[in-house]
């Protein structure tokens, strides 16, 4: 074990290193009832020291428990505190005395719950100032595949390119699991709850300079009641950022702000601040949880494939869907320009049914050699920014499917060769099992998958927006 | 066999009866390659007469084929014609000579494809005038569980309350399968393609007076090029309608209109006509395929549970989702009003964590007896129009789940007793198999299920809108 924390002398970055790559972890109180919390660490070959403290249990999943925190060695990198709020101050005092480096205050019932909780938060804040760094209270903690720490056992063991910081524990959990499910992995994730010490801005700053992180995403619920300058500081870290940064903000409406106050005790922010922030920085505004999911997938798979024009070739299997999804793209702000001559005539010569004007409505020929050839002609056009293709799940992933799938891969590779993004919509349907298998095949081949054309479209817009902001 | 068609003397309604409840069906050309088309009828104990005509095959799935249409008896109720467009006129002439009643012209390559197709359609129109009634060309045909006719074998054999007419075959197929998957069944469905004879308006008129139909839904792509008065006629049939009627319209944008012209050869319509139509009639405007799916589900399950105010109790499991979904509801136009005193204090007394202001963010207590009791208090409030509840799929549908599920049913029944709709959001996640099982349990209990809160919210708005229009 390295030397213990001697009074807040490290830089924030160094504390965060200790949190994401801890050489020692303590859990106070550990409980076999919170199996997920314990197993999140135990199941991933963590090679550092683990200390469980429990007043009740002698052993948890084969690890002997310490009865009291006083029995632990000094200088532990990261302590997870899950005690009733009445014991919280006392436990934190001991952590400071024992020169621990970082705390994850899991306990809820703080400022989000009542006035007593607000008072408690202020006391803890005073207590830890310049002595120890903490996330929480009311949060799930950290996940870093490389550091072999995870607050949940279900998260992927693979390292990836996305970093996420969030004020909601459940959104963090759902987001990581959903992204993993679409083949997206993470460098570092933190659920930081009420943010009485370490804040969203600290993590953005850290992710900005983290070599393992290429994409940053954020769920933000409101400024901390303890930090007056947070707006200005947020602007500064966002100004420095050069990576795609997706920012989902909760509490935009009065009713949402009320819910946020009940959730993390966050302070409402003025919408004007945000409009300025999005304008002045590289931050990309995402407006729903679903858009956050989808845009993360898009940036993960479309590295350096940013559209130069806000237009697509839309490839579908159905005339009705061609009409409806074209309307949707236009209404979202993406053009579906008619393929110009002489290309259109070349394409028309190759079909006997369907339409090649754009959208490409090409029934029946998905398994023919000319299918990717027809698509290629349109994708190469300079006024086309990328491709959105919708396909349905197949009853059987048989030989017929395989021929079609090879064609699909050809279209994907053509698009990529042109430096353009390829986004695929695979709607949910009664064929849920087949959709899952099909989705897995797509993901394995590096194809970003979305559940509807309009969700793919919003992700496409964010790819475009990053390119636009980055160029200026 | 009853008497044959003697020159268009029946009313449109009677022709449609013959199409949905045919006592005899002919398929010209039948083909074992279009297995789905043949099996759609063969697999549902159709008790009428079936005639297959094929120049190539002698027998298809155990049914002997006729070599030529001339060998068939006169007066067949419904003939499905799937021949190359070159043979189309000749076949239709014979159908008329043989006094058949109704035709389903499956063949594509008509006005949607080229100028020759436009000419062909005009010739066919002249040919059939006052002699025989037809849907198509370029369409999938009809489905009526009660009449034991279905253009696809996968459609449910159960009769239901929804009637659908559509200008897109693929959308019809996807829609029926998706609705069946969420427990919604149909009275009658028709995919009518280019609509050279029978049009959307004929079906609306028929569904209006059809006793088996309680909800009408429509995919409309544009007015027929052969009917000058269609706008006025549409207004008239819509004015007469008293049932919930969902109208999805494709081709709203110029690019969408172009796609529609390539799809069904439909003529573009002026948006002003539509604004007037929605204003003057009970028709409900749905703006995407997904909204059509969801609103159909809502009307199917929420019969006579129409919200009187545009506000909900929002019940979630996660503080972050509480904030984000509240924002979304407000932005969509649904209020999430704070629960007023004295109810709020009564509710607050019952919890030690979470929030009961509305949204109800109630972690951990889902399996406790007080969970439905807390919810009930808020649902009874007069300023609450209904309930939207979000829940996640469970890892295991075990005893813990069962206790939670019983609580959920209690909340559902409380809401229903209050004459208010209960809409449930069950997002797609990595637990796709469990979501499916969970969804099935919900559907069996009569609960409408949606994939996101915002999709449930749009369906809620349509329930409200129907109530509002119906009252005036």
**Rounded distance between C-alpha atoms, residue A405 and residue B432, angstroms:** 23
Q: Give the per-residue pLDDT at B7.
A: 55
**Rounded distance between C-alpha atoms, residue B169 and residue B162, angstroms:** 17
Q: Give the per-residue pLDDT at A246.
A: 98
Token pair, residue A184, equals 């997206």
| Cα separations in angstroms, A197 against A115, A135, A225, A357 | 19, 6, 11, 57
CATH superfamily of A312-471: Succinyl-CoA synthetase domains (3.40.50.261)
Residues from chain B that touch A351, judged by Cβ atoms under 8 A, are none
**Rounded distance between C-alpha atoms, residue A303 and residue A184, angstroms:** 13
Least CB-CB distance to B322: which of A259, A329, A428? A259
**Rounded distance between C-alpha atoms, residue A191 and residue A205, angstroms:** 16
Reported as a pLDDT band with limits 50, 70 and 90, residue A272 is: confident
Positive or negative torsion for Cα B6, B7, B11, B17: positive
Q: Strand (E) positions, B199-243?
A: 215-220
User: What are the residue boundaries of the structural domains of chain B, listed by start?
Assistant: 12-135, 141-301, 312-471
Average pLDDT, chain A: 91
**Rounded distance between C-alpha atoms, residue B80 and residue B40, angstroms:** 12
**Rounded distance between C-alpha atoms, residue A275 and residue A270, angstroms:** 9
- In the block, residue with structure tokens 């339409």: A355
**Rounded distance between C-alpha atoms, residue B14 and residue B17, angstroms:** 5
Minimal-distance CA residue of chain B relative to A354: B113
Closest-CA residue to B327 (of A267, A258, A275, A171): A258
Spatial neighbors of B319 by CB under 8 A, at least 6 apart, are A112, A168, A169, A170, A259, A262, A263, A264, B354, B355, B361, B363
Closest-CA residue to A430 (of B174, B451, B165): B174
Instruction: Please say whether the beta carbons of B316 and B426 come within 8 A.
Output: no
Q: Quick check: helix, strand or coil at residue A397?
A: coil
Minimal-distance CA residue of chain A relative to B326: A256
- What residues pair up with B80 in beta bridges, in sequence order? B27, B104
pLDDT tens digits for range A90-138: 999 999 999 999 999 998 776 777 788 888 999 999 999 999 999 989 8
Measured at the CA of B94, the angle between CA B88 and CA B97, to 5 degrees, comes to: 145
Token pair, residue B53, equals 């005509």
Q: Give the per-residue pLDDT at A268.
A: 62
- In the block, residue with structure tokens 């949402």: A256
Spatial neighbors of B420 by CB under 8 A, at least 6 apart, are B305, B307, B379, B384, B385, B386, B387
Positive or negative torsion for Cα B145, B147, B151, B154: positive
Q: Taking every pair of C-alpha atoms in chain A, what is the biggest distance, in angstroms? A: 81
Residues from chain A that touch B328, judged by Cβ atoms under 8 A, are 288
A34-43: average pLDDT: 82
**What DSSP element (H or E) covers A403?**
helix A399-417
pLDDT tens digits for range A177-203: 999 999 999 999 999 998 999 999 999
CB count in 10 Å sphere of residue A119: 12
Least CB-CB distance to B436: which of A256, A359, A432? A432
Q: Give the per-residue pLDDT at B158.
A: 96
Instruction: Please say whether the beta carbons of A382 and A337 come within 8 A.
Output: no
For chain B, the first-to-last Cα distance in angstroms comes to 48
Q: Give the per-residue pLDDT at A384.
A: 98
Instruction: Please say whether the beta carbons of A36 and A49 come within 8 A.
Output: no
A with B: how many residue pairs have Cβ under 8 Å apart?
208
- Answer with the residue of higher pLDDT: A266 or B163: B163
Q: Strand (E) positions, A45-200?
A: 49-53, 59-60, 63-66, 78-81, 102-105, 133-135, 141-144, 149-150, 159-166, 186-191
> Please, which residues 343-382 of chain B have a Cβ atom closer than 8 Å to chain A?
352-353, 355, 357, 359, 361
In the predicted model, is pLDDT for residue A430 greater than 60? yes
Q: Give the per-residue pLDDT at A269.
A: 67
Reported as a pLDDT band with limits 50, 70 and 90, residue A365 is: confident
Q: How far is A257 from chain B (nearest CA, A)?
A: 7
- In the block, residue with structure tokens 């992710």: A207
Reported as a pLDDT band with limits 50, 70 and 90, residue A471 is: low
Residues of chain B with pLDDT under 50: 1-2
Residues from chain B that touch A289, judged by Cβ atoms under 8 A, are 321, 324
**Rounded distance between C-alpha atoms, residue A236 and residue A330, angstroms:** 35
Q: How far is A359 from chain B (nearest CA, A)?
A: 7
What one-character DSSP code corresponds to residue A392? Answer: P
Q: Give the per-residue pLDDT at B48.
A: 92
**What DSSP element (H or E) covers A409?**
helix A399-417
In the predicted model, is pLDDT for residue A297 greater than 60? yes
**Rounded distance between C-alpha atoms, residue A244 and residue A10, angstroms:** 28
Spatial neighbors of B363 by CB under 8 A, at least 6 apart, are B317, B318, B319, B353, B354
Q: Give the per-residue pLDDT at B265.
A: 65
- Is A437 touching B (CB cutoff 8 A)? no
**Rounded distance between C-alpha atoms, residue B129 and residue B133, angstroms:** 8
- Cis bond leading into B207, ω under 30°? no
- What are residue A272's phi and psi, to 5 degrees? -65, -35
| Cα separations in angstroms, A110 against A47, A282, A345, B332 | 33, 34, 67, 32
Least CB-CB distance to A262: which of B169, B335, B357? B357
- In the block, residue with structure tokens 């989705």: A439
> Please, which residues 263-292 of chain A have a Cβ atom closer than 8 Å to chain B?
263-264, 288-290
pLDDT tens digits for range A203-260: 999 999 999 999 999 999 888 777 778 888 999 999 999 999 999 999 888 888 888 8
Residues from chain A that touch B156, judged by Cβ atoms under 8 A, are none
Q: Give the per-residue pLDDT at A2.
A: 42
Minimal-distance CA residue of chain B relative to A315: B259
Q: Give the per-residue pLDDT at A6.
A: 55
Q: Do B430 and A454 touch (CB under 8 A)?
A: no
**Rounded distance between C-alpha atoms, residue B203 and residue B234, angstroms:** 11
Q: Do A170 and B319 touch (CB under 8 A)?
A: yes
Reported as a pLDDT band with limits 50, 70 and 90, residue A309 is: very high
pLDDT tens digits for range A139-171: 999 999 999 999 998 999 999 999 999 999 999
> Between 1.20.1300.10, 3.40.50.970, 3.30.2180.10, 3.40.50.720, what CATH number should domain A12-135 receive?
3.40.50.720
- Is A35 touching B (CB cutoff 8 A)? no
Q: How far is B2 from chain A (nearest CA, A)?
A: 37
Minimal-distance CA residue of chain B relative to A450: B428
Q: Do A141-301 and A312-471 have matching folds? A: yes
Second-level CATH architecture of A141-301: 3-Layer(aba) Sandwich (3.40)
Minimal-distance CA residue of chain B relative to A288: B324
Residues from chain A that touch B174, judged by Cβ atoms under 8 A, are 318, 392, 427, 429
Q: How far is B204 from chain A (nearest CA, A)?
A: 19
Instruction: Please say whether the beta carbons of B66 and B52 come within 8 A.
Output: yes
Least CB-CB distance to B429: which of A109, A177, A288? A177
**Rounded distance between C-alpha atoms, residue B222 and residue B270, angstroms:** 10
């Amino acid at each position: 074990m390295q030397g213990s924390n001697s009074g807040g002398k490290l830089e924030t970055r160094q504390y965060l290193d200790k949190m994401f790559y801890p050489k020692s972890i303590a859990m106070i109180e550990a409980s076999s009832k919170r199996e997920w919390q314990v197993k999140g660490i135990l199941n991933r070959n963590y090679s550092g020291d683990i200390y469980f403290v429990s007043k009740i249990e002698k052993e948890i999943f084969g690890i002997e428990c310490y009865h009291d925190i006083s029995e632990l060695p000094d200088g532990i990198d990261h302590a997870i505190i899950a005690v009733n709020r009445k014991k919280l101050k006392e436990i934190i005092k001991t952590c400071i005395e024992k020169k621990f480096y970082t705390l994850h205050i899991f306990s809820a019932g703080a400022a989000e719950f009542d006035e007593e909780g607000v008072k408690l938060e202020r006391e803890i804040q005073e207590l830890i100032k310049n002595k120890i760094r903490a996330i929480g209270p009311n949060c799930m903690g950290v996940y870093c595949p490389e550091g072999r720490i995870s607050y949940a056992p279900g998260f992927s063991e693979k390292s990836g390119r996305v970093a996420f910081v969030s004020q909601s524990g459940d959104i963090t959990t759902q987001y990581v699991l959903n992204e993993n499910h679409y083949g997206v992995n993470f460098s570092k994730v933190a659920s930081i709850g009420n943010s009485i010490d370490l804040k969203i801005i600290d993590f953005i700053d850290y992710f900005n300079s983290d070599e393992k992180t290429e994409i940053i995403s954020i769920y933000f619920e409101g400024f901390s009641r303890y930090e007056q300058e947070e707006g200005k500081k947020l602007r500064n870290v966002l100004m420095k950022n050069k990576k795609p940064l997706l920012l989902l903000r909760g509490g935009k409406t009065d009713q949402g702000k009320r819910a946020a106050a009940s959730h993390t005790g966050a302070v409402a922010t003025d919408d004007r601040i945000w409009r300025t922030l999005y304008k002045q920085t590289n931050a990309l505004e995402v407006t729903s949880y679903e858009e956050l999911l989808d845009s993360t997938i898009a940036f993960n798979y479309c590295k350096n494939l940013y559209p130069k024009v806000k237009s697509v070739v839309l490839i579908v299997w159905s005339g009705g869907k061609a009409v409806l999804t074209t309307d949707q793209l236009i209404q979202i702000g993406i053009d579906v320009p008619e393929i110009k001559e002489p290309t259109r005539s070349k394409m028309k010569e190759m079909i006997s049914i369907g339409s090649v004007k754009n959208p490409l409505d090409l029934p029946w020929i998905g398994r023919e050699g000319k299918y990717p050839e027809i698509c290629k002609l349109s994708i190469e056009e300079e006024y086309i920014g990328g491709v959105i293709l919708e396909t349905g799940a197949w009853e059987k992933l048989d030989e017929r499917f395989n021929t079609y799938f090879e064609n699909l891969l050809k279209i994907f590779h053509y698009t990529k060769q042109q430096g353009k993004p390829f986004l695929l919509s695979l709607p949910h349907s009664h064929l849920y099992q087949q959709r899952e298998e099909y989705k897995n095949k797509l993901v394995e081949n590096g194809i970003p998958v979305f559940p509807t054309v309009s969700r793919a479209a919003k992700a496409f817009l964010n790819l475009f927006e990053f390119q636009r902001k980055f160029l200026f």
